[in-house]
Amino acid sequence: MEFGLDKCAKATFKRGRLTKTTNIDLDTSTTIKEIDQEGTYKYLGVNEGDGIQHSAMKEKIRKEYLRRVRMVLKSELNAANRFEAINTLAIPVVTYSFNIINWKMSDIKKLDTKTRKILTMERMHHPKADVNRLYLPRAEGGRGLIQLELTFKTTTIGLDTYLRSTKDPLLQLVKHHEEGKKLYSIKKEASKFTQELNIPETPPMENETITKYARRVKQKAKHHGQLQMRKTWEEKPMHGKYPKRTKDADVDEVKTNKWLKSIGLKAETEGLIIAAQDQSLATRSYHHRIMKDGTDPQCRICGKYEETIDHIISGCPELAKTEYIHRHDKAASYLHWEICKEYKIKTTEKWYEHQPKTITENDEVTILWGMPIQTDREIKANRPDIIIKYKTRKECILIDMAIPSEHNTSVKVTEKLSKYKDLEIEINRMWGTKTTTIPVVIGALGLVKKGLEKYTDKIPGNINIQEVQKIALLGTAHIIRRVLSIK
């Protein structure tokens, strides 16, 4: 080993004051220099002089943190990866200094606020969208960003737990020193944060190391903090509608939220969908009821109904003639593409380039696309999206796609099953086949009902529910942008 003498420096203190002395000459070519009155020495990334330069270090950390956040947001990463990059690259710049630099809670909150402002400028976060949701895990419907405020609290609680539990004599001195502080005392701060997060007493487990114990307490603190944010989100009258709906018994919450982790939407699109779920977009109803600026609440397209988010994405009779059909056909064409691949029927490499033909067949099956079935007696519902008629066995499958509002998903499934019951009976009689109806229903804002996988598993091919969900969400985002751009 060798000493890094070029990195060494010397400081002399007399009665707590920095005193100027001469350099130390080790030999003719090596000198340990004296730190001057305004100079600092960097130790483990922290500038020190006659003590830690707290104000200077705060400013330095703040600038570096924001520089890294902006650098990530200039990248072409998708939304999920951008948040992951911020958590990995930028957040540690600040968290590394916790309980070393004298951070005030107001300073930490300002950094969180500045981060949200930058996200808003990059159109990743709508200014009226829920703030708590931004910091919840993606598996729970959040955006997955680490909140500096909560991290500061959990870090302080974890460190206090470690100092209280350790038997190391030097750390006992640190603990005694911290307890005597009037400001920035780890013990006092940890006690306050424990009460704020409502964390119950957590005794150590048998044979548990101090490090593992402190880490477990820290994780519990984080969990309670997120529970509080989730509760605050759900209790809001507008923002809380969607999370409450995902908790209903008929909803598959895991699959509903999976799009946030798996499908990789662009940052702007994800921000728009999240804002729509939070009911925070500037619809005419929002201007009329929330802003109270005298705006006529009637829909700017049809002029018949109040213009809410639900009305725009699935309830406007004028949009139903064009935009809803286009979104529906995109999702149904993905199903058709997968079915064609399963039966080795030549098709395009990418599903979105696939143009379904009215009749597609080979030696095994005949696939009908949007084709009405001629029956002996009049049946109004005689045109499901896809019909698969097997040539080698007496079997027929009717597939019908729907993308309704989140509140109508369960109704739509029942509606589809009853709607084509007469057609099932008539096809059984005419073709002598066993006929099954398969409804594929995804909410316009991505909600997945329980039991959807049971239906998609019956469709030939490798049907990916998340891909259908992505198509529905992209179609909804397109509709919202078009409608809200009309003045």
Looking at per-residue pLDDT, the higher value among 37 and 94 belongs to 94
478 and 414 inside one domain: yes
Domain boundary among 201, 235, 269: 235
pLDDT band at 53 (very low <50, low <70, confident <90, very high): confident
Read off the pLDDT of each residue in 229-235 and give the average, rounded to a whole number: 96
Checking DSSP bridges between strand 395-402 and strand 434-441, what pairing results, if any?
parallel
Percent residues over pLDDT 70 in the chain: 96
Q: Is residue 274 part of a domain?
A: yes
Domain containing residue 299? 260-321
Whether 41 shows a pLDDT value over 90: the answer reads no
Mean pLDDT computed over every residue of the chain = 92
What's the confidence (pLDDT) of residue 119? 97
* 293 and 327 share one domain: no
Q: How confident is the model at residue 8 (pLDDT cuts 50, 70, 90)?
A: confident
**Cα–Cα nearest to 486, from 320, 297, 284:** 284
The reply to whether 264 falls in a domain is yes
**Same structural domain for residues 315 and 328?**
no
Chain centroid to CA 28: how far? 61
DSSP result, 32-82: EEEP-TT--EEETTEEESSSB-HHHHHHHHHHHHHHHHHHHHTS---HHHH
Summarize the confidence of residues 294-303 as an average pLDDT.
94
CA distances 20 to 14, 35, 383, 404, Å, are 10, 8, 92, 77
Q: Please state the length of the chain.
A: 487
Residue 90 belongs to some domain of the structure: no
Q: 202 and 266 share a domain?
A: no
pLDDT for the residue numbered 371: 93
* 170 assigned to some structural domain: yes
Q: Are residues 438 and 328 in the same domain?
A: yes
Q: Do 295 and 390 fall within a single domain?
A: no
Positive or negative, the Cα torsion across 127, 130, 132, 133?
negative
Beta bridge partners of 98: 101
Q: Among 321, 340, 358, where does a domain finish?
A: 321
| CB-CB contact of 399 with 458 (8 Å) | no
C-alpha–C-alpha distance, residues 171 and 3, integer Å:
27
Average pLDDT over every residue of 259-282: 94
Indicate if the pLDDT at residue 19 is higher than 80: no
pLDDT tens digit string along 195-218? 999 999 999 998 999 999 999 999
Number of domains in the chain: 3
Res 38: pLDDT: 56
Q: Assess whether 409 and 337 both reside in one domain.
A: yes
Residue type, 43: Y
pLDDT digit string, tens, across residues 104-139? 999 999 999 999 999 999 999 999 999 999 999 999
Which H or E run contains 466?
Answer: helix 465-484
Structure tokens that stand for 231 in this block: 């509760």
- pLDDT of 47 reads 64
Q: How far is 401 from 440, CA to CA, in rounded Å? A: 5
Residues 303 and 380 in one domain: no
Lowest-pLDDT range of 9-23, 118-132, 154-168, 410-424: 9-23
Q: Please give the Cα distance from 196 to 19 (Å, whole number).
A: 45
375: pLDDT strictly greater than 60: yes
Whether residue 265 sits in one domain with residue 216 = no
Q: Which stretch of 225-229, 344-348, 373-377 has the lowest confidence by average pLDDT?
A: 373-377
Q: Is residue 8 part of a domain?
A: no
- 268 and 382 in a single domain? The answer is no
User: Across residues 27-41, what is the average pLDDT?
Assistant: 71
In a domain, 392, yes or no: yes
Residue 468 is encoded by which pair of tokens? 């259908």
Residues 381, 264 within the same domain:
no
| Residue corresponding to tokens 């100092």 | 163
Q: Which of 356, 352, 382, 351 is nearest to 369 (CA)?
A: 356
- Interhelix angle 267-277/465-484, nearest 10 degrees: 80
SS3 230: helix
Residue 106 forms part of a structural domain: no
Sign of the C-alpha dihedral computed for residues 199, 201, 203 and 209 taken in this order: positive
Whose CA is closest to 446, among 245, 215, 165?
Answer: 245
Whether residues 282 and 358 fall in one domain:
no
Is 404 contained in some domain?
yes
Among 321, 338, 362, residue at a domain's last position = 321
* Exposed e or buried b per residue across 7-32, where buried means at least 16 C-beta atoms within 10 angstroms of its C-beta: eeeebeeeeeebeeeeeeeeeeeebe
Q: Which pLDDT band holds residue 183 (cuts at 50, 70, 90)?
A: confident
> What's the pLDDT score for residue 78?
94
Q: Is a pLDDT exceeding 90 seen at residue 180? A: no
